[in-house]
């Protein structure tokens, strides 16, 4: 096989092998290939129209010359900066390809998937209008974050270059018939690329949503696709079940989750770190629902073996060459010796990502079978959106955001929710100590994604893990709403949520209409509404929540919270 993998399932070996044999006897892989929805549920709704990912790689190969010509045309036009405006499935694959497959001499692609005004203005400050191409990417054509960013930057480009030239700096990627098609046509976008509508966002990496950005950064997209096509043969029903890594990984994910090991910890070589972010959305949105779930845990190293609890299942992706990840490999070897189950993959080079994308998509679909969940819908995502819209409606009606008094306040640091203690530090320490074994702690940071802030958040995350031995996750808002937000509300309720908010030192208006200055709402208001909506959605689901409003001193108050642990 060209896919190199090894597994160490320890005491779970027989249980997983039994389930593999059951799935093989039920001809699950053959039925998936045949688009048989009864593999997952008796009704076809949101299944039969979501399976285009199974053969998209082969169907995209004839499109390679066209996509490469588009990318070369953008390069010839002098576009050295590309800003992709998208959320979730529309942003994570492009970010992965830009970080792993970019070639020298091609555009520097940055993803903007935040409504934080500091992020919006910070990205704008680093752009040269004449040399910038914006790619507005949304499957539905109605994603509020993406359209708000599109209106903002289109208006800015009109100011910089004039109304006649602005549209030539914009491309759109969307599904046929979406609202974005008419909007982009009306604004004179240079390109409107229509993707396969039979693929859900988180399974769209090898469709136009991933391949167009990959081509713009100079990736060899034909090589990427051929890697996936070859993997499709290796992972098909004609292979022995024992030699099929997708069947093994998927069965292990579902079976071990039911056995209590539902924290899927993903180690990667440093060069492949962004693959973990892509896997996080794929697994969380596909499997975290109906009171069940697999919690993906990415980017949490370094660590001592003792901090990992008995609810972990480890996976790893290494590059064939040895490198900076040697310490991580040794950590995983130690964890296996201590009885933790693990599956490892070795990639010959970065273009093996094509095979890994298809493998993980298929494995996630397989994992849903023992869990008995539908892997292609997201039934809990809308709750936070509805509540956020209510906050926006209140803002429109009364001219300000609804407020509540904090339960605890100390020197500019306010605390809300499940508060026990006389100081914010005590409240945090008590909150994380109260989480039982088998829980996970999720930090949800609606903060400007500055390097120093993200380092402090990572320290906070690791300190919580090291003190409690609980799995921890870190998400920037509102980005995580399109990645792990479904799981937070739809899984077994094991999450303990720490929301972090702060004052915005500057704000940016969202134009009511692209190209015009009139605005009733800003990015700061939208971000606050999204934070409030998600907070209320979590509480409505009975989740354990605490919120720290860091006020004007984000670095200082993060340091205080770190000191609490």
Q: What angle do CA 264, 267, 273 make, to 5 degrees?
A: 115
Which sequence spans correspond to the domains of the chain? 4-27+237-371, 56-225, 381-563
**In this structure, which topology does domain 56-225 adopt according to CATH?**
Rossmann fold (3.40.50)
User: How much is the pLDDT for 322?
Assistant: 63
Query: What are 508-526's pLDDT values in tens digits?
Result: 999 999 999 999 999 999 9
Query: Do the domains 56-225 and 4-27+237-371 match in fold?
Result: yes
What is d(CA 163, CA 146) in angstroms, rounded to the nearest whole number?
21
The CATH homologous superfamily for domain 381-563 is Glucose-6-phosphate isomerase like protein; domain 1 (3.40.50.10490)
Mean pLDDT of the chain: 96
For 161-176, the pLDDT digits (tens) are 999 999 999 999 999 9
In 533-553, which positions are buried (b, 16+ CB within 10 angstroms) versus exposed (e)?
bbbbbbeebebbbbbbbbbee
CATH number of 4-27+237-371: 3.40.50.10490
Would the pLDDT of 240 be above 90? Answer: no
**pLDDT band, residue 180 (cuts 50/70/90):** very high
Q: Tell me the pairing of strands 509-510 and 521-522.
A: antiparallel
271-309, pLDDT tens digit by residue?
999 999 999 999 999 999 999 999 999 999 888 999 999
Residue-wise burial string across 84-104, b where 16 or more C-beta atoms lie within 10 A, e elsewhere: bbbbbbbbbbbbbbbbbbbee
pTM of this structure: 0.97
């Amino acid at each position: 096989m060209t896919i190199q993998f090894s597994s160490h399932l320890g005491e779970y070996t027989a249980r997983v092998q039994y389930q593999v044999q059951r799935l093989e006897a039920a001809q699950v892989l053959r039925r998936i290939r045949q688009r048989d929805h009864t593999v997952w549920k008796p009704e076809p709704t949101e299944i039969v129209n979501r399976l285009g990912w199974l053969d998209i790689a082969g169907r995209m190969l004839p499109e390679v010359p066209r996509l490469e010509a588009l990318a070369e045309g953008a390069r010839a036009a002098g576009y050295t900066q590309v800003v992709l405006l998208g959320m979730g499935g529309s942003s994570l694959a492009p970010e992965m390809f830009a970080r792993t497959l970019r070639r020298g001499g091609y555009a520097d692609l940055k993803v903007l998937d935040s409504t934080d005004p500091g992020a919006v203005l910070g990205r704008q400050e680093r752009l040269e209008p004449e040399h910038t191409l914006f790619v507005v990417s949304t499957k539905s054509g109605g994603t509020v974050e993406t359209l708000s960013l599109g209106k903002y930057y289109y208006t800015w480009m009109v100011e910089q270059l004039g109304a006649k030239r602005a549209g030539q700096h914009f491309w759109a990627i969307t599904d046929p018939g979406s609202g974005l098609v008419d909007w982009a046509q009306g604004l004179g976008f240079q390109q409107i690329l229509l993707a396969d509508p039979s693929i859900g966002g988180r399974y769209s990496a090898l469709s136009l949503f991933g391949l167009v950005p990959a081509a713009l950064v100079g990736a060899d997209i034909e090589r990427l696709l051929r890697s996936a096509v070859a993997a499709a043969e290796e992972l098909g029903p004609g292979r022995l079940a024992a030699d099929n890594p997708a069947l093994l990984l998927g069965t292990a994910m579902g079976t071990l989750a039911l056995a209590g090991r539902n924290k899927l910890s993903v180690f990667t070589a440093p060069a492949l770190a962004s693959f973990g972010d892509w896997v996080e959305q794929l697994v969380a949105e596909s499997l975290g629902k109906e009171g069940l779930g697999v919690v993906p845990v990415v980017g949490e190293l370094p660590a001592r073996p003792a901090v990992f609890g008995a609810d972990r299942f480890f996976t790893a992706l290494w590059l064939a060459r040895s490198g900076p990840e040697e310490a991580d490999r040794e950590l995983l070897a130690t964890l296996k010796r201590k009885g933790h189950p693990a599956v490892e993959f070795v990639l010959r080079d970065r273009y093996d990502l094509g095979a890994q994308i298809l493998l993980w998509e298929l494995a996630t679909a397989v994992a849903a079978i023992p869990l008995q969940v539908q892997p292609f819908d997201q039934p809990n995502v809308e709750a936070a959106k509805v509540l956020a819209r209510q906050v926006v409606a209140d803002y429109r009606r009364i001219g300000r955001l609804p407020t509540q008094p904090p339960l605890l306040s100390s020197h500019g640091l306010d605390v809300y929710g499940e508060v026990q203690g006389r100081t914010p530090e005590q409240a945090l320490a008590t909150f994380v100590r109260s989480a039982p074994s088998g829980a996970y702690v999720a930090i949800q940071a609606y903060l400007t994604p500055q390097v120093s802030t993200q380092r402090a958040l990572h320290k906070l995350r690791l300190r919580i893990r090291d003190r409690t031995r609980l799995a921890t996750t870190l998400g920037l808002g509102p980005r995580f709403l399109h990645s792990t937000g479904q799981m937070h509300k739809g899984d077994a309720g094991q999450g303990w949520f720490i929301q972090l908010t702060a004052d915005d030192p500057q704000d940016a208006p969202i134009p009511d209409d692209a190209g015009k200055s009139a605005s009733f709402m800003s990015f700061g208001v939208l971000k606050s509404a999204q934070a409030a909506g998600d907070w209320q959605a979590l509480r409505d689901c009975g989740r354990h929540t605490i919120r720290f409003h860091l006020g004007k001193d984000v670095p200082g108050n993060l340091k205080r919270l770190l000191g609490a642990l």
